[in-house]
Amino acid sequence: MRVGFAGLGSMGGGMCRRLADRGFDVTVFDIDREAVKSADRHPGIEGVSDVLGLAASVVVTMLPDGSAVRQVADVLLPRLEPGSLIIDTGSSAPSDTLELGRVAADHGVAVVDAPVSGSPAAARAGELTLMAAGTPDALDGAEVVLSALGRVHRVGPAGAGHALKALNNLLSAVNLAAVAEVMITGRAFGLDPAVMLEVINASTGRNHASETKLPDHVLSGTFDSGFALRLMLKDIRIATSLQAEAGGPAAFGTACGELWEKAFAELPSGADNVEVVRWLEGVAGRDLRPATAVRPRQEG
């Protein structure tokens, strides 16, 4: 099967290589010409110089948002055969997905939103979690491609995948901020960050931030999770908008959104999402390197 693939960033670069390794004939495009040249050197991948070169029965996008997906789709739709499929694996607003689906239907093309969760390493290894949404027929058509990338969860009709991805990332952002807060507090008390994480991860407070983001990307000093802070903030905005529409409780979402907005305004434009911890350290005036333990204040 020939697959067109748009978007060769930290996730897309690994995903297109994974598809090629699984036997797909992959044609790739990105505005970053060096990324295209790099992918072109991988067996089974052909780099093209413009979006039109991606025309295929299945087109996969891994792009920053729904606007970028729409730009690619508007060029390709007149060239795609009826019965073709566009799979958006990035994080787009559900409303953008629904509108794209209506436009694509006029050309006889189906749309599946199948955003992914996982690291760049998981993308390369085919170990992503995919939240696939669309009509049953469209999902059946997408299955062979998506299953090569990881574990596929069918989550509902069009737009449901992007809604769930945004809500998942809101929860992830809340967890990261919460872990950073308690770590900074423990650091102020004199606790060793490594000891704190060891105990937290053997206790009920453990989560992805404590198990992976803090030890691998923060305490290491690398701040290199591969997911930009601006993209996390975009997903937080989508999720909090969904919360507002639902009319339910949103205290954590609101507080998290406000925190990320402030961090985004003060950190460098290309900051990784885990650099919100660096920003919180600055607010507290403390970092997370081990400190000499302090004796608890005695009562009485």
Catalytic residue positions, numbered: 165
Strand-pair partners of 58: 3, 85
Give the C-alpha distances (Å, rounded to integers) separating 47 from 3, 28, 41, 86, 125. 12, 5, 9, 19, 21
DSSP 294: -
Q: How far apart are CA 15 and CA 128, in angstroms?
A: 9
Strand-pair partners of 133: 113, 156
Report residue 241: phi and psi, to 5°: -65, -40
Token pair of 200, please?
A: 């937290």
Q: How far apart are CA 261 and CA 62, in angstroms?
A: 24
Give yes or no for a contact between 57 and 1, defined as CB atoms under 8 angstroms apart: yes
Q: How far apart are CA 148 and CA 132, in angstroms?
A: 13
Return the closest-CA partner of residue 132 out of 123, 120, 145: 145
Token pair of 181, please?
A: 């807060």
DSSP 92: -
- Number of helical (H) and strand (E) elements in the chain, helices listed first: 12, 9
Q: Is 150 helix (H, G, I), strand (E, B) or coil?
A: strand
DSSP secondary structure of 25-46: EEEEE-S-HHHHHHHHTSTTEE
